[in-house]
Amino acid sequence: MSHGRFLTLLAGLLAIQFLALGISPIDRHDWLLENALVISFVVVLALTYRKFKLSRISYFLIFVFLSLHEIGSHYTYSLVPYDRWFEALTGRTLNGVFGWQRNNFDRVVHFSYGLLLAYPIREIFLRVANVRGFWGYFLPLDLTMSTSMIYELIEWAAAAFFGGELGAAYLGTQGDVWDAHKDMALASLGGVVAMLITAAINSRLQRDFAQEWIDSLRVKDHRPYGEDEVRRMLKA
């Protein structure tokens, strides 16, 4: 399947999910709030497609993450009935299997954020900033972690601004005072897993893998910067 057809298929499937799960959500206001960033993100992907096409892998990973998010926004994250679905299939609840005391769908999605989006972020770093070796794994992880923190700040700001039931539904802490910390930790863990898998594959397929890591950690310019660089620029 060509790149264009593959992306058209994913876009069509995502549009179907968006429309289907947008019908009678549990909380219409929360659904709108949850999808504001999604719509902005999809618009950016569409506008940059011609000049900056990502790989099929990256687009597929993004699609899976957005699909999970659409499920969460339909039910509100703390009310996704995954336990009922799992019990219908197996006769047991998933919370009972793992000993969970809360609805953990939001935790799964935060972990998936790192697991599924760290690779597309890595592709951007490689192709735009031309990073290699150690930095090709650390910087995508770093951005995944920092954007996870930024999202928690957005959640807090939105919850404080809207307040009431809408703010509580959007924040979705379920009474856990460490909810934001756990969400960021899980996103970070997902990113670590994604980069470890990527590094393991590359170490098997890339002949100069070790040398690239060594070169990436070598000092490229032995001159100090700061005030010394200012002095050099003034003399130029």
pLDDT in tens, 178-191: 778 888 999 999 99
Q: What is the pLDDT of residues 206-231, one digit of tens each?
A: 999 999 999 999 998 888 898 888 88
DSSP assignment of 123-161? HHIIIII---TTHHHHHHHHHHHHHHHHHHHHHHHHHHH
Asked if residue 173 has pLDDT above 60, the reply is: no
Is the pLDDT at 236 greater than 80? The verdict is no
Backbone angles phi, psi at 218, to 5 degrees: -75, 145
The pLDDT assigned to 195 comes to 97
Q: What is the mean pLDDT of residues 65-70?
A: 96
The residue ranges of every structural domain in the chain are: 3-83+104-218
8 A C-beta contact, residue 105 and residue 72: yes
pLDDT of residue 157: 80
- Cα separations (Å) of 50 from 41, 54, 61, 195? 16, 10, 19, 27
Query: Among all chains, which residue has been given the structure tokens 């756990």?
Result: 182
> In this predicted structure, what is the pLDDT of residue 176?
67
Span 116-139, average pLDDT: 96
Do residues 188 and 148 make contact, with C-beta atoms less than 8 angstroms apart?
yes
What pLDDT score does 102 carry?
A: 86
Q: Quick check: 198 pLDDT over 90?
A: yes
46 — pLDDT class (breaks 50, 70, 90): very high
Dist. CA 159–CA 171, nearest whole Å: 6
pLDDT at 106 over 60: yes
